[in-house]
């Protein structure tokens, strides 16, 4: 009887130690503690699927996303790990990371197409300006879109300067 108590105590101690390691050192814990702003995946064929709320399980051709803003859960066919892109973001991610991963749902220019998720960085400049008119200032999209547009403006200026130098 005494021997069994020791084993349970040891198991419990190991469990507590393991949990403390996960909670103190694990990047997963950091992700859970920060507010999730996007939970999505780009599949092998380039389709983006996203989970918008807790238990919002979304599946597409063997790929799946679940958890919304509460937790991350992903699934994909075996052998596809290197061919997919996880697009999860939390509030403490850098602006550069958000620029690379933040997505937007679009129904095309006429608004009659089926909903399709696209990365903001891949949207045309006019589309980004139209999105800015729709989003509220506190949404993460606002800061990211403004930064993308600023980068594009700088790139345009650099191209103009190069053309002027080449003309001289």
Whether residues 158 and 118 share a domain: the answer is yes
Whether residues 5 and 75 share a domain: the answer is no
Answer with the one of 90, 111, 136 that is the final residue of a domain: 90
Whether residues 153 and 141 share a domain: the answer is yes
Tally the residues of the chain: 168
Whether residues 111 and 152 share a domain: the answer is yes
Whether residues 42 and 85 share a domain: the answer is yes
Whether residues 102 and 155 share a domain: the answer is yes
Whether residues 22 and 59 share a domain: the answer is no
Sign of CA dihedral 29, 37, 141, 50: positive
What whole-number distance in Å separates Cα of residue 114 and Cα of residue 105?
10
Count of beta carbons in the 10 Å neighbourhood of residue 60 = 13
Predicted model pTM = 0.71
Q: Tens-of-pLDDT digits for all 168 residues of the chain?
A: 444 444 544 544 444 334 333 333 344 444 445 789 999 999 999 999 999 998 899 999 999 999 998 988 999 999 888 999 999 999 999 999 999 999 999 998 888 999 999 999 999 999 999 999 888 877 888 999 999 999 999 888 888 788 777 877
Whether residues 83 and 139 share a domain: the answer is no
Domain count, the chain: 3
Range of the domain at 13: 1-33
């Amino acid at each position: 009887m005494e021997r069994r108590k020791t084993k349970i105590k040891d198991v419990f101690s190991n469990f507590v130690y393991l949990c403390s390691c996960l909670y103190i050192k694990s990047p997963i814990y950091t992700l859970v503690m920060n507010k999730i702003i996007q939970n999505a995946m780009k599949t092998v064929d380039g389709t983006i699927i996203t989970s918008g709320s807790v238990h919002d399980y979304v599946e597409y051709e063997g790929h799946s996303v679940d958890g919304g803003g509460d937790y991350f859960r992903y699934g994909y066919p075996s052998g596809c790990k290197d061919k997919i892109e996880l697009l999860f973001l939390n509030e403490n991610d850098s602006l550069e990371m958000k620029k690379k991963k933040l997505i937007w749902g679009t129904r095309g220019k006429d608004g009659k197409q089926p909903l399709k998720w696209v990365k903001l960085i891949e949207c045309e400049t006019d589309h980004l300006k139209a999105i800015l008119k729709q989003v509220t200032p506190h949404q993460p999209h606002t800061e990211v879109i403004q930064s993308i547009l600023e980068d594009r403006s700088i790139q345009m200026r650099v191209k103009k300067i190069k053309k002027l130098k080449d003309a001289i």
